[in-house]
Amino acid sequence: MKNRSLFLLLISHLCIGGLGFALGIYYLPILIAPDGPDDQAIAEVMNKKLYFGEFSLDRKDSDRLHWGEGLVSISQESIAFSGELAPGPDYRLYLSPQFVETEDEFNRLKVDMLHVGYVKTFESFLVSLPLGIDLSKYNTVIVWCETFGQFITSTRYKRRS
């Protein structure tokens, strides 16, 4: 075989291997995700909500791979989400005293935020709040990918009237 043919063969195999690796990173969280909470559990939090908000696709740092869309309800005991998140690894849920919609804002304000818990499902989630949180000290719910330092989505929440 000529050197040129060996080089092309090597390049093609590296490209296919890289594509397979990238697809594995994307699909692995989907494959290993646990079942989401049932609709009744989400509905219970939505009925007891003190605050509510909406994740939307129009956040500054949301893009085709990092986004969320749906309704967020916050009770004194938990945060419920009904909608869809872009799949990814190591999602974390934070409460922030200031609205955040970019990675730079998140990194700058992270010291003032409260890490609430882990998000392991992508179609709905239910995350318990630690006891004694004063929800009025915060105004924003954020989903963040810790592994890759990526902003996923956020919502400024409002008091239920």
Q: What percent of the chain is predicted at pLDDT more than 90? A: 60
| Residue 26 reports pLDDT greater than 80 | no
pLDDT of residue 8: 83
C-alpha 110/C-alpha 91 separation (Å) is 15
Query: What is the model's pTM?
Result: 0.82
C-alpha 38/C-alpha 28 separation (Å) is 23
pLDDT of residue 86: 92
pLDDT of residue 32: 58
Closest CA to 102 of 72, 66, 138: 66
Give the mean pLDDT of 85-101: 94
Categorize the per-residue pLDDT at 59 as very low, low, confident or very high, splitting at 50, 70 and 90: very high
Categorize the per-residue pLDDT at 15 as very low, low, confident or very high, splitting at 50, 70 and 90: confident
* Residues 6 or more apart whose Cβ sits within 8 Å of residue 96: 109, 112, 113, 114, 138, 139, 140, 141, 142, 154
pLDDT of residue 3: 80
| Residue 30 reports pLDDT greater than 60 | no
Closest CA to 121 of 46, 43, 31: 31
C-alpha 6/C-alpha 154 separation (Å) is 49
Measured between its terminal Cα atoms, the distance across the chain in Å is: 75
pLDDT of residue 11: 87
**Please, are residues 116 and 130 in contact by the beta-carbon 8 Å criterion?**
yes
Q: What percent of the chain is predicted at pLDDT more than 70? A: 92
